[in-house]
Structure 1
């Protein structure tokens, strides 16, 4: 096995251990605080936020299919990953610039960062999936992307559960609901919102908003790119040697 594949295998195994760690004391404390804060919001607010995020995500998931590259059917893992890293750098650059501009533009423009960054994240996932040879025009692959996104931006408690589904995806995909409306959008939006709230709220603060927006978006894209690479590495190695979970 080439040394770069050995390195990728070592990296994904270390990442798998991280994904399966039990929540720490701070994770549990933060989760309790977030649950209490969410309980203070009226139900109609939760429903409105859930619907808004659901519509944004579904719009990108289904709208981007026609502009996404076809799956790369032939290629070594190192060649695929070189192309993936290039895409991550490109999207990270776009997100950093977008965060700086919206962060410098005050409260209203800062609010526009949320859907713009969400769109960049999902489009990056389409690119990564295609470069690893997966056809995102297939419904299960689009749901897989939702789970990758959720894994990247969730508390450790939710991350453990999401990781288990992704680690056993070949079995789990046969249990998927026929309609994406049945996806657990409520948990999806709450975990995502809780994960990025602090950084994105700081982005709305005058003077520091541009710097905070640039750094936050850089780190969020970096986090998503790393998570996506390891998820698809996990599938690659599992297909080559069943039993890697």
Structure 2
């Protein structure tokens, strides 16, 4: 019964991703592009480089920093109860971090990028473990990376990423060796999508007086999106397996 329920929820989630962006979303995207042009290219370069370097370091180091053994004997419903608890906890953590850095203006606002990124990646590692997957396996770390990319991707890229998740059991057999798998990833697309997705709220977060409120709300929202994407990504694997 539970698997039938989540299969329906998964279908609704896929349909939601296929919808055309709303007028508000299109307006926000246009405003974001205008604001991006006002930011010096050197600032964009620093942010882009920091995103790549931090994600790369987190993925490579996760086999040493992840101590939890994946849960192997739980039902899907029990796993998802744990994941929903993780989402609630990490949203609260992200909101507190956003409020703290947002209250500090531009300097602390810049520090929010790597801090929030580390919170997101840690959440994904814990979620993988709750679903029974061991992120010390480099193939699971790559799956996590695709989940992250899907959560913050542009509309036209989502079908391709969802298809990759649906075919993961065959896809992972084609992966390069452990020493080379990160080099084969499309880092440029990953960085640009993520940066563009979070640029507008993060720039608003640096405005004195409202930064704390914006930072808390934005980070809470980002973790909400990531949580929904992660749950449905692992549901795809569970049902296919």
Do these two structures clear the TM 0.5 threshold for a shared fold by scoring above it?
yes
* Alignment RMSD: 2.6
CA distance in 2, matches of 1:35, 1:207: 24
Q: Deviations over 1:136-190 (max 9, x none)?
A: 1111111111100000011111222211211211222233343112211100000
The answer to whether the Cα contact below 8 Å between 2:102 and 2:109 also exists between their aligned partners in 1 is yes
Structure 1 residue matching 2:72: 3-state secondary structure: coil
Structure 1 residue matching 2:114: 3-state secondary structure: helix
Indicate the residue corresponding to 2:208 in structure 1: 206
Gaps of at least 5 residues in structure 1 are: 240-245
Structure 1 residue matching 2:134: 3-state secondary structure: coil
Indicate the residue corresponding to 2:12 in structure 1: 14
CA distance in 1, matches of 2:26, 2:207: 28
Indicate the residue corresponding to 1:78 in structure 2: 77
Deviation at 1:18, TM superposition (A): 2.7
Given the two structures, how large is their TM-score scaled by the length of structure 1? Answer: 0.86
CA distance in 2, matches of 1:200, 1:43: 16
CA distance in 2, matches of 1:200, 1:227: 21
- 1:1-245 correspondence runs (5 A): 2=1, 4-19=2-17, 21=18, 23-24=20-21, 49-68=47-66, 69-178=68-177, 179=180, 180-239=182-241
Given the two structures, how large is their TM-score scaled by the length of structure 2? Answer: 0.87
Deviation at 1:17, TM superposition (A): 2.5
> Relative to structure 2, which stretch is displaced further, 97-106 or 59-68?
59-68
CA distance in 1, matches of 2:110, 2:213: 16
Gaps of at least 5 residues in structure 2 are: none
Deviation at 1:48, TM superposition (A): 5.2
Indicate the residue corresponding to 1:242 in structure 2: none
The answer to whether the Cα contact below 8 Å between 2:32 and 2:199 also exists between their aligned partners in 1 is no
The answer to whether the Cα contact below 8 Å between 1:64 and 1:123 also exists between their aligned partners in 2 is no
The answer to whether the Cα contact below 8 Å between 2:152 and 2:193 also exists between their aligned partners in 1 is yes
* Residues 34 and 157 of structure 1: CA distance in aligned 2, closer, same or farther (over 3 Å): farther
* Residues 107 and 51 of structure 1: CA distance in aligned 2, closer, same or farther (over 3 Å): closer
CA distance in 2, matches of 1:183, 1:123: 20
> Relative to structure 2, which stretch is displaced further, 217-226 or 53-62?
53-62
Deviation at 1:65, TM superposition (A): 3.0
